[in-house]
Amino acid sequence: MPIRVQNDLPVKEILEKENIFVMDEHRAIHQDIRPIKIGLLNLMPLKEDTELQLLRSLSNTPLQVDVEFVMVKSHESRNTSANHLNRFYETFDTIRKQHFDGFIITGAPVEQMPFEEVDYWEELKEIMEWTKTHVTSTIHLCWGAQAALYYHYGIDKTDLPKKLSGVYWHRVMNRKIPLVRGFDDVFLAPHSRHTDVPVEKIRAEKRLTILAESEKAGVFLAMAEEGRQIFVMGHPEYDRITLDTEYKRDLKRGLPAELPENYYPDDDCTQKPLLTWRAHGNNLYTNWLNYYVYQATPYILEEDE
C-alpha cells in the first residue's frame, strides 16, 4: 500500500521513479480506509533529504501511511527554503490537539552541545511529553534518541574520543520481541555521531530493554513502555551515499574526518559504497508500523477539545 503525501511534495517524483507507491491527497480521499497517521518531527538541516530517506523506509508495508511533517518554531532553518517549510510543514502549536498513530523524532547536528543549550530544547521537551499522551508509538532517531533518553530517563550522553562513522555489525539481543522479528542474528547498520549513551547506563535502567547492540558502536536499538517509546541510535534510513557525502563534506571543511569504517570497498573512497543495511532497516520500520502502531492504535483518532 502507498505512502500518502501532498500532491506537490518535491520528493514524490523521486519516490515514484524508484517504484515506490505514492498516493496523492486527491486519490486517497476516495478510498474507504483509515490510513495510519504518522507525524515526522524533522530536526535535520537538509529536510528534503531526510523526508526522502524516511518515506522510503515507511513505504515497505501493506498499510496506507499518511505522513505529516512537523518542525519546531523556536529554531530558524537556514538550509531548507522558507517556501518548502511554509508549504509542507506544520508547527507543533498547530498539531498539539491531534492524536497520531505513530511519531518520528529525527536526529539533529547539535549532539556536542549540552541539551539545555540547544535553542529549541524547551519546545522539544514539550513535544516529547506530549507524545506520551497523544501518540501510540514514537521512534526517536540518533540525537533524537539521546535527547529522549535524557528527558524521559535522565540518562545523559557522553563525548566520544573521535567521531563514530561507518557501518557496524550488531547482534540481536531478544528475538522474542516483535520489533526485531525477521532480523538475522547479526546485521549491519550505519552510525554517524560524536556522542554516545553508554550501554551500561541503559542496561541499568530496568524500564528499558536493549534489542540490538554492537561491540564497536554500542546500543543500536532499545525500547520502553512495551514499544510506546523506541530508541534507534544509528541511521537505518540512510541512503547508500549519505556517509560518503558527510565524510567528503567534513574533509572539504578541514575537519578531522576519518574514513567511515566498513563502508567503501577496499577502504577506497573513490569506489561506490556497498548498500548492506537496507533490508534490515526496512524490516525495522515495517515491524514498527505493524506491531507497535497498527496493531495497537485505536480505530478512531480523536482530537483534544
Catalytic residue among 51, 213, 237, 246: 237
Q: Are strands 135-141 and 100-105 parallel, antiparallel or unpaired?
A: parallel
Beta-sheet strands, E only, within the chain:
3-5, 22-24, 36-41, 65-71, 89-91, 100-105, 135-141, 158-172, 186-196, 208-214, 218-224, 229-232
C-alpha gyration radius of the chain: 19
List 167's β-bridge partners, or say none: 190
Active site annotation includes 305 = no
Q: What is the DSSP letter of 293?
A: I
* Cα-to-chain-centroid distance, residue 89: 17
Active-site position among 51, 68, 99, 142: 142
For residue 232, the number of C-alpha atoms closer than 13 Å in the C-beta half-sphere is 24
Q: Which of 99, 140, 235, 280 is catalytic?
A: 235
Residue 280's nearest CA partner among 238, 232, 236, 235 is 236
Q: Which single residue is written with the C-alpha cell 498539531?
A: 95
269 is catalytic: no
Cβ pair 85, 77 in contact under 8 A: yes
Active site residue 205: no
- Residues tagged active-site: 142, 235, 237
